Amino acid sequence: MKQSEPKTLDALAALIGARIQGDPSCLIDGIAPLESAKPGDLSFVTHKQYRKYLATSQASAVIVGSEDAKDCPIPALISDNPRLSLAKAAKLFEKNPMPAKGIHATAVVGQGCEISASASIGAYSVIGDNVQIGENVIMGSHCSIGHDCSLGSQTVLKPHVTLYDNVRVGAHCLIHSGAVVGSDGFGFANQGGTWVKMPHLGGVVVGDQVEIGANTTIDRGFLEDTIIGQNVIIDNLVQVGHNVVIGARTAIAGCVAIAGSAIIGEGCLIGGGSSIAGHLKIAAGVHITATSGVNHSISTPGIYSSGFPAKPAAIWRKNAARFQFLDNMAKRLRVLENIMRSRLQEDE
């Protein structure tokens, strides 16, 4: 990614809070991975697996941690947190054209709405009654906002976002295309073999600085609200059930499913493809690794895993065939342990 006006390494260091090693007047006009970088590009080492490219990279400079700086053959920006410095540097090369302020002529706006004059409402968007839209909100085309919703200042909705009624989104949020917030939860009662739908009367509350990925769904609460805390980041294709509470600063990777009424603490990390059963409580600071199934509450911070990693098919089939014998083996082992315990007691 290139930009029109090159920056000196000295200027970049000041902008991202890094220390310079090498020529401070080195000019940078782009950013690229080590293995594909060209002269003029800034590159980065954010993981040890990329160190092997340092010796041969054509980048003009590189962001590194202090442990990699001593072996770096090119000018460097030394950071205590290279990944964070990379994020700040990449932001300088981001190109987001600002849409025109105001309401597009094709948009439909309901009664009793309060829309800031600095907001941008895209083409063919539909806004229900009694909606509040804050300063500098950007709503892409074909968005649908239900009744009694609110969007905090600086929040961005990409095209084709849907908010049902009674959804409150905080400031500085980003919701990607295809996301649906406030749909009915999966709640039914059974009457003689027939499913009877339970009406969902709650809403959804989304805190400030939240990002919601493309095609993610967040269900409204049954009687109370579903709550997404501040600075939560949610990847694409995530399902959040009704009455779920997600604590601040939690990160949820793609294809995670969280069943209704689960409560997830602050600062948790939930790996992709994981599932969390309903009505559980997950303590703050819990890290659930990818594809894990969580069926019990977790009260202690730490790293938790379940499931089986991929193996060659022949080995997996042998292991799968043995699963059915595990219970019998456990019973036989218990018998042997009791026999050994009795013999040790006799010897004493």
Q: How far apart are CA 292 and CA 280, in angstroms?
A: 15
Are residues 113 and 133 in contact, defined by beta-carbon separation less than 8 angstroms? Answer: yes
Distances (CA, A) of 19 to 64, 168, 274, 276: 10, 42, 39, 43
Q: 242 catalytic, yes or no?
A: yes
* Catalytic member of 242, 279, 287, 296: 242
Could you tell me which residues come within 8 angstroms of residue 19 by beta carbon, excluding any fewer than 6 positions away? 13, 77, 78, 79
The residues pairing with 211 across neighbouring beta strands, listed in sequence order, are 174, 233
Identify the H or E element spanning 150: strand 150-151
- What per-residue string of b and e applies to 232-244 under the rule 16 or more CB within 10 Å gives b? bebbbbbbbbbbb
Question: Hey, what amino acid is at 280?
Answer: L
Burial of 161: CB neighbours in 10 Å, binned 0-12, 13-18, 19+: buried
Instruction: Tell me which residues are annotated as active site.
Output: 242
